[in-house]
A and B are shown apart, each in its own frame.
Chain A
Amino acid sequence: MYKRRIMKDRLFTLAVSVLGLLALAPLFHIIYTVTVRGVPAILEAGPSFFTEPPAPPGSERLGGIAPALLGSFWLALISTMLGIPLAFLVGLFLYEFKESRLARLVRVFTMSLLEIPTILVGMLVYTIVVIPLGGFSVAAGAIALAIVMLPYVATYVERALDSVPATYREAALGLGLSRARTSLIIAGIARRGVLAGFLIGFAKAIGETAPLLFTVGSARNSLNPSPFEPGDAVPLLVFQFIATPYENWIKLAWGAAFVLTVTVLTVFIALRVVVREVRL
């Protein structure tokens, strides 16, 4: 009996360690795969990878992903400008009025928004923005991304505010400050946590694909800087190129996937640096 229990425990410890590490293993393999296939592609394309549009399908040359990079830049900029202030206010509301019934409802809906397939957000924006405006545009894609990032940023902001010790809040209120002023002071104290929330939003904005499928328009050769024209995005290019039969486009897709991975990892490292120091 006793020996069997110890055996079971050892087996369990072993199994859990192996399975737990197995759960994490794909991450390393993904980063490895994207690197060993993406870096050679970028090297083959040379500097034009960042300055040119893709070469025609099946051509010997690779060309580059410049329009997608430009599009992703615009998308990230506009969507964070739209989404982050909005999400910040939602987070502020959730924190400041957390005891109200409305806040509880808002929380449920914000969490539910997290579970709405992002492709449906693309369909929604297609229906209410793209069709009325008469065509695809970077702005439409940015709206879709702003919607997608909203729940992530809002819940992160709320958590950051929540982690500030209650004494600060009481001190501010005790000085006779209004709740609006108080909550802004709290946000100031929790600024690193809030910033971390913004970074999460940014990471979402550059990494998401599905919301862009029917909104941005895959204008693969356009270096047009207007947000009201169709554009391209890095993840969108990856999605549409990786499954083609054209060698040069597949290579571009791997290179673009590498760029995307590096960008997101950089944001995550920044996030760690930001949050680690405050321990919020």
Chain B
Amino acid sequence: MAQKRPAEARSDKLFYYALIPFASTAFLIILLTLFVLTAKGLPALEFYGLKVLTSTRWLPNEFDPEKAVYGLLPAIAGTLVTAIIAVVIALPLSLSLTVLVEELAPSRVRDILSSLVDVMAGMPTIVYGVWGIGFLAPILAPIYSGLQSTLGSLPLFSCEPTGGFSILTAGLLLAIMIIPFIFAVVKEAYRAIPATYREAALSLGMTRYEYTRLLMGMIKPAIIAGVLLGFGRAASETVAVALVVGNAFNLPLCIIGPGITVSSLIANQFGEANLYPLMQNVLYLGGLVLLVLGLASNFLGILMLTRVRVRV
């Protein structure tokens, strides 16, 4: 046996090296995406300067790039605001769902609820989009009008609503879409809490409310991770948002009015952007911003998750 070992190890080494090219695909794709977006996006930054990130106007010109104005700020701010709205709404719902599934539901119902959340996660985003356009936006439209007429003095509700297509509608739709992801992260951590802590909490005479709060405190890094990953999801979602956000180059100051996000901007403009000099490059630059945002929230999220494991 001892003599056979080295030979065996050699074939195993071969197996290892043979798999490396496949294993590194993800890395290569990310690198390539980063490279393409940078290489194509930088010319826009060079030509227009930082103005391309800070301007709020979007005035394409078919002939002369000098005469065109491209400002990504409304889209970047729109991405951030819609994603933040989504996370703020989705977090309490996801935590409630976790408690419902893990603590309240009888074990059979628990399985059914879990499968339903899986279906929610797997439902194509375009289906959320058509629901947004066909149901959510129309029922929100009169509510927005009401908000504007009563609270119109507040900047948040000061603008003219346009048929329910708005930053807030996009945020709400995104909230629904990211619930399964936040839920998945939080539930996994919650379930991983050793039983002895639950028993300790119960043995002190804590009510369900008191001990779930305590246990949620224990997995706080996982909750933060869920928020970060959910934020990343919301920021990168494209088609559903593009259908309900209204696609107007406004800063998202008034949330009941139409706005735009980076991904919906790309979805709407990239197809014809090659007709306008440098517009495509501006959109690549927007893509780069989106990529950095996505990777950063993912990285921080993973970092948080490793902290849970160390602690618990």
Contact = CB atoms under 8 A, between A and B. Distances in A.
A and B touch in the complex (CB under 8 A): yes
Contacts of A265: 119
B201 interface: no
Given A5-B207, A17-B100, A209-B239, A200 B122 contact: yes
Interface in B122-173: 122-131, 133-135
Contacts of A268: 115, 118-119, 122
Interface stretch (A24-32, A58-66, A163-171, A219-227): A24-32
Contacts of A11: 209
B19 A92 contact: yes
B3 interface: no
A238 interface: yes
B294 interface: yes
Interface stretch (B24-32, B48-56, B70-78): B24-32
A203 interface: yes
On chain B, which size bracket covers the interface? 35 or more
Contacts, number: 262
A112 B8 contact: no
A118 interface: yes
Contacts of B100: 16-17, 20-21
B97 interface: yes
Contacts of B242: 239
B27 A106 contact: yes
B26 A90 contact: yes
A213 B271 contact: yes
Contacts of B99: 16, 20
Interface SS, A side: helix
Nearest to A15: B96
A228 interface: no
A127 B40 contact: yes
B82 interface: no
B124 A117 contact: no
Interface in A88-118: 89-90, 92-94, 96-97, 100, 102-103, 105-106, 108-118
A207 B15 contact: no
A105 B26 CA distance: 10
- Enumerate the 8 nearest inter-chain pairs by beta-carbon distance, A residue then B residue, closest first: A207-B124, A20-B100, A117-B236, A19-B96, A115-B298, A12-B209, A9-B207, A23-B93
18 contacts: A15-B96, A19-B96, A20-B101, A23-B93, A23-B94, A24-B120, A29-B135, A89-B19, A96-B15, A96-B16, A110-B26, A119-B266, A119-B287, A120-B290, A124-B32, A127-B40, A210-B125, A264-B124
